[in-house]
Structure 1
């Protein structure tokens, strides 16, 4: 276990400095007894009610990146007396896999002791929730003054001093075209492909987002088609978070939204906007439930990696990227469903016919008997080496605690020790897996029994497909590369 130590005192007075030394000594003793590794010490001289503690923030960021496994603190109040920080640390412990242990035994997430931590977090949550409600009330009051409060204006608009203005570029015409194409019967994805093919900048690119992509998406088109701002109305408080700790956004009822009619110039007429909403609702009701086909989420494009889509009129599959964005992004990679079925069934029958159970089991059993003896000796040697390195690590923490080596020297040596331990653990894992080869003969026997049953099948079912096939990659010329979940029988000979 790699552990990080967090130490905090409220002031830099002399008696507080002594407290820092005492806390540090307690942690060194704890780490030595556990036989763990010290990753680093994070120390702040600051009040526990503020989140402006640089080393605590550094600790949280390092924990999110999983640079260590455990955070050690003297007591919970040393980490947080602030609601926001409390939940940030709680979330880190529960989601990133970083544990928290306090030396007063109040919290030990390794042992599942989260009760006190949860109680503190619950108290902080109540206060944070009340604060959040007050902020929402203030925001609603400001919204009623008619100012746009979003961080990014809708595509086609720019914002100046809280008011939306139509952009002086091609983006407003793109918005009008999207509405026109949808009313002409085009779908979300079809419109997105058209805009991508013609090279129009995406909303993310116009907003200069760092993660902006090159392609328009159907979800973006749908969002634009349901945005009432395009009619000239300013509509605020459309969404809200579920709670102060759950940031999932949900739609607010229309009568609870803040709507300022004719707050800015419109890009789309109200008639067109309402017609789109009605058309969208009617298409939603008529759309049949999508059927999942045999090779869905099994067959993929060998070039772009996108899942293949089934087309009923072709009785086969094509690349999803090609279908969504067109041929200038990726080619079709077409393959017929019946042809793919026939190839897999042919492979199964071919392997079954070539499999001699008696010969295969005999060879595997002989190899396994010899290998098991070698594995046992090698595993014992690896365990001895691991024990030796563990003792060396304990010795280092004792030297650090007695000031015989510096923290930098400790880290320099511990890196080499950890590297050796990691290599030995990989080797041990490989040996342990190989040692289980005694079960190969049973696996081969069961494989033959199943394959013999499969030979009688006239069709490839979903159950059999997912038991045997891991993934299928289809090349540009329609040739499938089938990756099976097991090796062909010849691999065991």
Structure 2
């Protein structure tokens, strides 16, 4: 008989409330099983307070390292949901990690024991799907409870906005913090009087008013008032007595939170005492939306950053009386300047660095560069090659469209399986009916996944194409070059005093 060195893995998340999932209960049931079967427990791994959907947990990571280092060759758990609630990770552990490292896996309450064999039956995969459904269901329920609390006007966030504090007698109720109430009012009044956030921040700093983070006890954070602090206060609906229902959108399954944009806030009005009247708050928002920052000018010209002086090696400066600009939307405004030119300004600044007066018109340089680049491409015979690559990409895009439909079909089948499994659990269908339908489902999903795998393998041959091929396709589809394409084809353009040029190509 093989000498087994067992590791027992125990996990309890914050959401688990059942007694039979407690760490002590898990320890009791797994150690009892090990003793009854004469397995030696060499190590215990406990992750307390970690969700089963997380792929990385402190003790789980240690256990995997011990598996790889051959310190244990058996893993015992109460059930597979203790190991993970992610169906993909369930498959990874039971189909790859454990067999590859000669690990015997035992789930006590589910009567799963891989024994000496490495083939895991369908039950483990089914458990993985069911466990993931559990996490998704819990996530929805928690969101619904939180939403219900907020719609009742109850404050359930951990931290309280500057200017408020929680009621001593009711932790779900906000009351005004009278110690800093006047500072909030001062900020709003100053802004309505025409002062800018930077000016308001400076006045507060001059008056030695401590910042919100320092007032709330956060050390070494925000020691001085800034315009961003003022703007946050000016934009927050909480000061008008309103609560934001969706300030953060959480995903319990992924343990992530995403902040909602101010314009997408769902507001519940009059949930707590207001420091600022609704009229003043609305007026502030109106003023803020009407103030448009000066557009930063981004100048556009074809050979930007490429021309250098052949004599000193410095970049040449672009000069134009009415240059074209790029607006925030990325649109180019203006017309080409016929008198624009490039010049090496080092000649005027320091003749020891550059003793040659070097200047060339932009339109002349553009014409020379485009001509030489076209000759270079013809020399490399890449035009026809570009068409071949484009044909490959078109075919790949067609296949990708089909693969998306296949993936959608797989998702639909998995959803149907969840319903099927629920019917089996509830006794609506028999075990035999469930097994027959599951076999049909499994066969169909396997075939669809094979198609996806074949596509992924063939896609790798397309992805091997280097940047030059992509650039040539881009060039073929453009009526004119642009600066972005040129920078990928050209390293630099050296210019001599007699307007002869030397182009350093990247291709």
Q: Do the structures match in fold with TM over 0.5?
A: no
Structure possessing the higher radius of gyration over alpha carbons:
2
Q: Which has the higher contact order (CA 8 A, sep 6+)?
A: 1
The TM-score, its normalising length taken from structure 1, stands at 0.41
The TM-score, its normalising length taken from structure 2, stands at 0.40
- Normalized per residue, the structure richer in helix is 1
